[in-house]
């Protein structure tokens, strides 16, 4: 491979992607893309360019000093971007804001290709991006401008990276700015969006995965499942999809399709409403098999409304559950997601 795709995740949630040529150092590739990553000496002496590599393979060489990067720091995933030479696509967390690094979100113009209503619960929106396919990490979101309103709303990609056609699963909100526009939106309409954003994204697949989705928080998991399928993942993956009403269960057929395409994938649905005839009623915390937690050797991803996120966190604390990693994103109507 002659080059690698490097995702730079800034602390303000903005993600920028740069192309790193074979043998090129990350700092040089970023500068070539006019992104001023933190640096001082650029010789592996000062440690100013220290970042965290969250996934990918790379070589740091031996031309830096211990004061700039200790063995313990190296072992924990810290890197010097002035010395880091990628050997695969990589994700790097940058301890600085995008504005401090003199970069910004990417802006895209797209054409509506599908608006599909799902009862009174949600809308599937598909867009064809006019120019190059947007680059993002499975699980991230963008801000979509609502035509004619001067406002934007935040939505996670439900589609996988790599295509100019992107999808979103949007909760219907009576009287909502986006919901109102979607009532009359037609294929051929133009929209703009900016991003990608967010630190909620699929990390390296090194252990079993537990996905917990609440309502339209299903969207990022559809993107992740597509990525796992394309990667030929053999890891065990269990998705628990919780909603309030039976009518809120949308795109279950899309989830079901992954049971045939992705070895080791299982899922269950849960409905909270007491009047429901669904076989699993209540909350996701009441339908979480112990085997899915794998004695803590599991990576947990959770996306849903704040009460659900808080309930799962409390459930883990009360029961002494300590996953290897726990990534979550809270979302509320008309507000940007909060990730951790």
69 domain residue, yes or no: yes
Average pLDDT value for residue range 8-35: 93
Domain membership flag for residue 52: yes
In a domain, 64, yes or no: yes
Q: In total, how many domains does the chain have?
A: 3
Residue where a domain stops, chosen among 94, 115, 144 = 94
Token output for 44? 């592996």
Please give the structure tokens belonging to residue 176: 């909502």
Q: 140-144, 194-198, 300-304: which range is least confident on average?
A: 194-198
Residues 294 and 231 in one domain: yes
Domain match, 234 and 298 both:
yes
Element (H, E) at 194: strand 190-197
Compute the average pLDDT of residues 144-162.
95
Report the candidate in 298, 317, 306 with the shortest Cα–Cα distance to residue 339: 306
d(Cα 151, Cα 145) in Å, to the nearest integer?
A: 6
Per-residue pLDDT band for 338 (boundaries 50, 70, 90) equals low
* Together in a domain, 276 and 235: yes
Note whether 280 and 259 are same-domain residues. Answer: yes
Average pLDDT for 152-159? 95
Residue 329 in this model has a pLDDT that exceeds 90? no
**Using one digit for the tens of pLDDT, what is the confidence trace for 50-105?**
999 998 999 999 999 998 999 999 999 999 999 999 999 999 999 998 988 988 88
Last residue of a domain, one of 143, 171, 197: 197
Q: Which two tokens stand for residue 112?
A: 């509506």
Contact 49, 42 (CB under 8 A): yes
Q: Is residue 276 part of a domain?
A: yes
pLDDT of residue 1 exceeding 80: no
Degrees, nearest 5: CA angle 305-295-261: 65
For the segment 282-325, what is each residue's pLDDT rounded down to a tens digit? Answer: 999 999 999 999 999 999 999 999 899 999 999 999 999 999 99
The answer to the question of residue 203 being in a domain is: no
Among 177, 197, 217, which residue terminates a domain?
A: 197
Instruction: Provide, rounded to the nearest whole percent, the portion of the chain with pLDDT above 90.
Output: 81
Is 202 inside a domain boundary? no
Residues 167/158, Cβ–Cβ less than 8 Å? yes
8 A C-beta contact, residue 82 and residue 102: no
Mean pLDDT lowest among 26-35, 81-90, 94-103, 116-125: 94-103
Same domain, 72 and 112: no
pLDDT of residue 13: 85
Query: Residue 335's pLDDT is what?
Result: 55
Read off the DSSP letter of residue 14. B
Which region among 13-22, 86-95, 142-151, 330-339 has the lowest average model confidence (pLDDT)? 330-339
Question: Integer distance in angstroms from the first to the last C-alpha of the chain?
Answer: 33
8 A C-beta contact, residue 179 and residue 122: no
What pLDDT is recorded for position 333?
62
What per-residue confidence (pLDDT) applies to 86? 95
Band of residue 12 on the pLDDT scale cut at 50, 70, 90: confident
Please answer whether residues 153 and 143 qualify as being in contact, where contact means their C-beta atoms are separated by less than 8 angstroms: yes
| Average pLDDT in the chain | 92
pLDDT of residue 41: 85
Only one residue has tokens 């080791």, namely 264
100: in domain: no
Q: What is the DSSP letter of 182?
A: H
DSSP codes joined into one string, 212-262: EEEGGGGHHHHHHHHHHHHTT--S-EEEEEEESSGGG---HHHHHHHHHHS
Q: What is the rounded distance in angstroms from the CA atom of residue 330 to the CA atom of residue 340?
A: 9
CATH code, 249: 3.40.50.80
Rounded to the nearest 5 percent, the helix, strand and coil shares of the chain are 20, 35, 45
- Domain extent, residue 335, equals 209-339
Residue 101 lies in a domain: no
């Amino acid at each position: 491979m002659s080059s690698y795709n490097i995702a730079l995740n800034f602390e303000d949630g903005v993600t920028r992607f740069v192309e790193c040529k074979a043998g090129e150092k990350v700092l040089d590739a970023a500068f070539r893309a006019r992104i001023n990553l933190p640096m001082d000496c650029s010789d592996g002496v000062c440690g100013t360019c220290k970042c965290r590599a969250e996934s990918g393979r790379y070589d740091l060489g031996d031309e830096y000093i211990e004061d700039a990067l200790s063995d313990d720091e190296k072992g924990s995933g810290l890197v010097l971007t002035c010395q880091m030479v990628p050997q695969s696509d990589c994700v790097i967390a940058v301890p600085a804001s995008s504005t401090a690094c003199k970069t910004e979100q990417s802006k895209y113009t797209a054409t509506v290709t599908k608006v599909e209503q799902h009862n009174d619960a949600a809308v599937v929106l598909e867009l064809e991006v006019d120019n190059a396919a947007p680059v993002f990490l499975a699980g991230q979101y963008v801000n979509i401008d609502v035509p004619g309103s001067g406002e934007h709303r935040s939505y996670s990609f439900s589609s996988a990276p790599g295509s100019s056609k992107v999808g979103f699963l949007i909760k219907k909100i009576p009287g909502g700015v986006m919901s109102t526009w979607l009532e009359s939106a037609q294929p051929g309409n133009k929209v703009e969006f900016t991003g990608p954003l967010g630190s909620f994204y699929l990390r390296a697949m090194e252990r079993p995965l537990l996905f917990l989705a609440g309502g339209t928080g299903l969207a990022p998991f559809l993107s992740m499942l597509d990525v796992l399928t394309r990667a030929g993942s053999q890891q065990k993956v269990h998705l628990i999809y919780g909603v309030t009403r039976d009518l809120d269960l949308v795109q279950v057929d899309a989830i079901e399709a992954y049971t045939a395409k992705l070895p080791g994938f299982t899922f269950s649905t849960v409905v909270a409403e007491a009047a429901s005839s669904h076989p699993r009623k209540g909350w996701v915390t009441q339908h979480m098999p112990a085997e899915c937690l794998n004695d803590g050797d599991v990576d947990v991803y959770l996306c849903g409304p704040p009460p659900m996120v808080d309930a799962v966190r409390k459930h883990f604390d009360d029961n002494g559950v300590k996953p290897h990693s726990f990534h979550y994103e809270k979302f509320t109507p008309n507000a940007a997601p909060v990730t951790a």
